[in-house]
């Protein structure tokens, strides 16, 4: 199994990942794509959703740590 190579996906900001995710969902909902294209869009959407969740989890952790320090 090949190691994961770093790519631009790993460097996306939350805002960029969310914007691309919204566009991906729109394209899926609009239809008109082949099964293979739809599958590729779905997979990309899953990647983007994971990136967004990682950002949100990181922010929540930072907020929790800050609140703990202020107590």
Q: Is 2 exposed, middle or buried (CB count within 10 Å of its CB: 0-12, 13-18, 19+)?
A: exposed
The percent of residues in the chain predicted with pLDDT above 70, rounded, is: 86
pLDDT at 2: 42
Tens of pLDDT, residue by residue over 14-29, are: 999 999 999 999 999 9
Where in the chain are the domains? 14-70
- Characterise 4 by phi-psi region: left (phi > 0), alpha (psi -120 to 50), beta (else): beta
């Amino acid at each position: 199994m090949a190691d994961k190579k770093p790519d631009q996906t790993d460097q996306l900001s939350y805002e960029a990942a969310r914007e691309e995710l919204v566009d991906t969902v729109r394209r899926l909902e609009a239809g008109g794509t082949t099964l293979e294209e739809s599958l590729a869009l779905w997979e990309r959407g899953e990647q983007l959703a994971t990136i967004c969740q990682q950002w949100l989890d990181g922010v929540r952790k930072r907020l929790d740590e800050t609140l703990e320090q202020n107590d």
